[in-house]
Every structure is written in structure tokens, then in C-alpha cells.
Amino acid sequence: MIVKAQDFLSFLIKCQKESLGGFRQVIVPRKSRNPEDNQQLFEEINDSTEPVLESYRTIDPLRALFYFSRETLLPADKGKKRLIVGAKGCDMAAFQILDKALINEDFVDPVYQAWREQTTIISTDCAEICDSCHCTLVGGKPYTDQNYDLNLSGVGQHYLITIGSQKGEELLKIMKEVVDLSLPQGDEIDKIKKNRDAVVVKLNEQNSRFSRSEDYSALRKSDIEGWIDDSKSCIGCGGCTNICPTCYCIIINDDSTGEEFIKVRSADSCQLHGYARVAGGDTPRPKMYQRFRNRYLCKFDYMKSNFDMIGCTGCGRCIDVCAGEIEFREVVQKNMQLPKVQE
Amino acid sequence: MAQTNPYKTFAAEIYEIIDESPTIRTIRVKPEKPIPFRTGQFIELTIPNIGEGPFTPSSSHHISDKMDVTIMKAGFVTEYVHKAKVGDRIGIRGPYGTCYPIDEWKGKDVLIMGGGVGMAPTRSLFLSLLQDIDNYNSITFLVGARTPNDMIYKQHIQGWRDIDKVNILRSVDRVPEGEEWNEEVCLITKLLSKINIKPEGNPVVVCGPPIMMKFGTMDLLKYGYADKDIYLSMEKKMYCGIGHCRHCVIGQYYACKDGPVFTYDKVKNEENIWE
């Protein structure tokens, strides 16, 4: 189905204001208010919001809306029914890791699961890219073909709507009652394919200088001197992990009061010194370069073993956020090319 | 959302406290409902409003309505364990992780090495084995501590030694002035030269400080034990216990879910396993 961009926006505001579809919150990307800052971020929609639905990914990862920096696990926070619009391919790909990690046959994170179940996601194709975007370098795409409920692809002042799930189908029914939807004229599919291909070409051009093999086992074997050198400007702030769509490390704290046991989880970062420290003070990675290297191995090696997918979806946020101006793509490429040390 | 909350915590009351050494104490607790576990598995123990941490019970897995947990004063939460009094209420969630496959050890000569507070989990194993001692050919327990005063479970040793098919050897690293000791003075790994077990096909369990685990494993390999027969209790920072927090990751494995009991052949190619 096709919807006018303007109609779609008024539908979103109606959802937010009148709890249409039972949604208690509608979240969209909007431009940063700092004119020097060429970024988008997620915000609850209101009358004055100007959503930026196509463009490229937000600076805050979608993960942070499903796995907040601090939540109560026992008794478990319940979440609320909401609609998130403007999710990008890189963020959607991260669900392949997060869902396996946090909702598996052994144990379920009750709060993450509640947010997943209560959220309807409308993803949108990327129409532009930013300097750090590199989804195609890690096998991703600037649009999604999985996990979405509805997907929007921009065609002029319209969106082509694709249904991805039962939830999406129900949402479309509600939309039909409020705004005019029309049938595609026939050439939209071609136009969308052209748009998508054009963005892929841009991404490939931008990232050709970072090209590398897909056999990331080389990283584990690379010379330690390379990591020491690359980590020199790292200040260990943990910004890269906090903003990563696939990082989900947490600590558990006890906030029990009286008779009730209360367990709270908070975000943690493997870049921080105390991360893996055990009682008695020993830590397996006391040096900054060890923690720096650990992040790369976790993404490209450990997560690959754990989830059959590398932990980088190419969003490039860690590059944008780095206080030490470390170019993630360059570090990966360089350490995969270093002479191998004897095993 | 039929699944139960994995963080569900049960109350337990401390009914006895045994100070084993200046830094190690055993708290004996009665949980509000039985907590069945298999020896080698661990629990998360809560000191309400203070924190929680992973500990391996030191009592037999044949008992589930009571539990002993032996804890060394080493950090924030354990400080409070050492301030606890009889009658205090704590919390327990779990059990989590893998156990020692003792059903596969029937007819075998079982060797156990416990160093320092690492004797706590191995006491659970030892007591669980004792329950069905007829199943095993022999049980040898090598125990190490820094000094005689650091040696734990002193009051039980003679009783255990009197049991047929049980052999217990103990060593301390040194004997400070004023302390008494009439058993071995050497590193625990040196006790291997004083036993006579055929290593082929027999299991050995190692639990202790990282340095002892490392050199213990090297010596056991020299002694003739196979990689797959060396069981290591790899204790890491297991915050959540359920493979979600990633703090205990050892390469591709989670110490909390794939361990804490690992055979050496499984982890030997991972990095920093002894740290």
C-alpha cells in the first residue's frame, strides 16, 4: 500500500494523542537541535516534532529503547505498548543477536522480552548515509528485510508500505481507518529498488578503502603490538560500547527492601577497568590495550561463536562517539593484515 | 510470558555460623523452600540491600532443605557475610551452571584437589561422593592452604579419614611461628608425588586460586591425566548467572552457563583461562 508522507505523520500524532491502536507512546527520529551536530535522535512525538524518517540511522541505538541503562528485573518492569518508527537496517540486524542472547531456551530477560512484545516497529529505508556508515562492509544493507512489523520505503512524497508481521498487519488496518491508502501504481517497486541500489553504491564507495576479508579469526592471531599502538588514544570511557546496537553487558545490583527481593540491572562496559574484576582484586584484563582488544574479539570472534553472527552491524556510531577519534574500520582492517604470530 | 523470572530469589535463614579461619567462614542456611542442586553448580547469594555474588555450596547435593556456603572475606558483599549473625535473612537464587558428572565416575579412583577456599566447592563434591561411596573404587582428597590457621574444615578431617576407601593428604605452604602442624609442608601440587593412582581413565577435580589451578593442571598432565579427565572449576565474575551479563565470558564460553565446571580439553585453547 501507498501512503502520503503528510498523512502518515498525522496518523502518528493521532496514535500518540488518542492512544489509537492502544499505543501509549510513539517514538520517532528527529534532527539534533544543535545545528553543528549532523545527527538524529529518538524522541517521543509531539505536535512540534519534525520526524526524520528516511535519512540515516539515529545516534542513539535502537537497542537502548529495548534495554534501558537501568531497569528493575525483579519484580520485572512491565513496559508499555508503543510504536517505534524509523528503525534502520543496522539496528534491526542487531535484534538477531539481542533476541538470541536475552530470550533463549535457557533463560529470558523478562524486561527485554516485555519491551519486544509490546513494541510495534516500523522500519524505514535509508535515503542517505553518514561518514561512519558501513553496513555493507559487514554484509548488511541500508534497509531491512527482517524483524520489522511494517517497513516504509520512500517514493517522492509517499511511502510504500510492506507488511512484515501479524502486528504490522493489524497496525495497517488501524491506519486504513484514519488515512487514505492507495494501491501501488506499478513502477514504485522499480523506483525503490533504484533508491536502495543507489545507497548501496554510495556505501560501497565510501568503504572501499576499508575492505577486508570476512575471516575474522585473523584478529585473534594478530600481533599484540598492533593493539597497543591502536589503543594509545583510547581513554577507556566506554562510549563505544554504550552506543553499540549489539552490546548488552550489564551488572546486577541488589536493591532489596524489607521483605521483598529487588534486582536491578545497569549498563556496563568491558572498556572499564573494573569490568571483570573478581573479589580479591584480580582482573583478567588490567591493561587498556587488553580491554580495547577484547571489544574487537568479542564483536568478531566470541559473538560469532555465540550467535552465528558477528557483533558489528556497521552503524559506525562507535566512530562518531569516540573521544580519541579512533577509526574502528581502520583498526579492524589493519589488525587483520598484520603478520601472523606463531601459534 | 509463561517462563518464570530467572532472577526469582528465595529467602533463607542463617541457623549456624562456623568461623573456619581468620578470613573464611561457613554459613549454614535454611531456605524457605528446598533448593535442589547438583554438586559443582553455584548459586547467587543475596545480602539484602547490600549486594549479591556467586558462591558454590559446600554441602552435599543430597541435602536440599539446608545448605552450607563457605565464604572468604575478599570484597564488598563478603565483608557483610562476615558480619552476619545467626537468624539473619539472606536470599538465594539458582542453582546455575554445570555440575560434576559423578554418575559417570562409578568404579573409578576419584582424585580431588582443593586449595584454600577452593576446598569449599570440593567439599560439596566430596560429601556427595561419600553418600554413595560404594559406587567408587577410592576417593583421594588433596588439600592445601597457606598456613595451618588458613586450613578449613579442621574439625571434620579425622572423621573423613576413618572412612574406608578415603585418603586425605594435606599440606601447607609454610608454618608461621606459634602455629602447629604435623602434616606436609609443600605446595599442594607436590602431594601428587605421595599418591599412587593410575591416571588413565580416572577423573581429577581441581579448584583453588588461579595460580594453583594452572600449575596443578600442568602437573596433572605430567602425571599422566588426560585433558578430558581434568575437571576445572572456573570461577569468574558471574554477575547474572544466566549468560546475559557477559562478564564471565571465556572466549566463546560463558563460565556461568557452559561452566563453571569445565574439562581442560574444552577450554585449553581459550585465552587467559588462568587469570
Q: Do B272 and A280 touch (CB under 8 A)?
A: no
Domain boundary among A192, A209, A226: A209
User: What are B262's strand-pairing partners?
Assistant: B232
Residue of B nearest to A77 (CA): B5
* Calpha distance A82→A170 (Å, rounded): 14
Label residue A110 exposed, middle or buried (CB < 10 Å: 0-12, 13-18, 19+).
buried
Q: Does A222 share its domain with A205? A: no
Q: Does B91 share its domain with B184? A: no
Q: Which residues of A touch B98 (CB under 8 A)?
A: none
pLDDT in tens, B112-156: 999 999 999 999 999 999 999 999 999 999 999 999 999 999 999
pLDDT value of residue A343: 45
* Calpha distance A244→A61 (Å, rounded): 6
pLDDT value of residue A67: 98
* Calpha distance A103→A97 (Å, rounded): 10
Q: Does A25 share its domain with A166? A: yes
Q: Does A342 map to a domain?
A: no
Q: Do B239 and A252 touch (CB under 8 A)?
A: yes
Q: Does B181 map to a domain?
A: yes
pLDDT value of residue A334: 93
Nearest to B75 among A104, A280, A298 (CB): A280
Label residue B4 exposed, middle or buried (CB < 10 Å: 0-12, 13-18, 19+).
exposed
Domain boundary among B49, B71, B96: B96
pLDDT band at B167 (very low <50, low <70, confident <90, very high): very high
Q: Does B29 map to a domain?
A: yes
Q: Does A192 share its domain with A48? A: yes
Q: Does B265 map to a domain?
A: no
| Total number of domains constituting chain A | 2
pLDDT value of residue B3: 65
Q: Residues of B at the A interface (Cβ-Cβ below 8 Å)? A: 1, 3, 5-9, 11, 46-53, 72, 74-75, 77-78, 91, 210, 235-237, 239-240, 242-249, 251-252, 257, 271-272, 275
Q: Do B251 and A298 touch (CB under 8 A)?
A: no
Q: What is the mean pLDDT of chain A?
A: 94
In a mutational test of the B interface, the residue from A108, A113, A116, A216 whose CB has the highest number of chain B CBs within 10 Å is A108
pLDDT in tens, B93-106: 999 999 999 999 99
Q: Does A180 share its domain with A319? A: no
Phi/psi class of residue B76: alpha, beta or left (left: φ > 0; alpha: ψ in -120 to 50)? alpha
* Calpha distance B263→B273 (Å, rounded): 12
Residue B235 predicted with pLDDT over 90: no
Q: Does B106 share its domain with B23? A: no
Range of the domain at A321: 213-337
Residue B54 predicted with pLDDT over 60: yes
By the 8 A CB rule, do A122 and A167 touch? no
Single-letter amino acid, residue B252: Q
Q: Does B92 share its domain with B107? A: no
Q: Do A250 and B239 touch (CB under 8 A)?
A: yes
Residue of B nearest to A266 (CA): B245
**Percentage of chain A with pLDDT > 90?**
87
Q: Do A253 and B53 touch (CB under 8 A)?
A: no
Range of the domain at B109: 102-233
| Total number of domains constituting chain B | 2
Q: Which residues of A touch B77 (CB under 8 A)?
A: 279
Q: What is the CATH number of the domain that holds B145?
A: 3.40.50.80
pLDDT value of residue B1: 42
Q: Does B23 share its domain with B108? A: no
pLDDT in tens, A34-69: 888 889 999 999 989 999 999 999 999 999 999 999
Q: Do A280 and B74 touch (CB under 8 A)?
A: yes
The whole-angstrom distance between B180's CA and the closest CA on chain A is 27
* Calpha distance B47→B55 (Å, rounded): 13
**Residue stretches of chain A with pLDDT short of 70:** 338-343
The whole-angstrom distance between B32's CA and the closest CA on chain A is 13
Q: Does A290 share its domain with A246? A: yes
Q: What's the farthest any 2 CA atoms get from each other in chain A?
A: 69
Mean pLDDT confidence for B28-46: 98
User: What are B24's strand-pairing partners?
Assistant: B72
Q: Do A117 and B1 touch (CB under 8 A)?
A: yes
**Percentage of chain B with pLDDT > 90?**
93
Q: Does A199 share its domain with A221? A: no
Q: What is the CATH number of the domain that holds B25?
A: 2.40.30.10
Q: Does B63 map to a domain?
A: yes
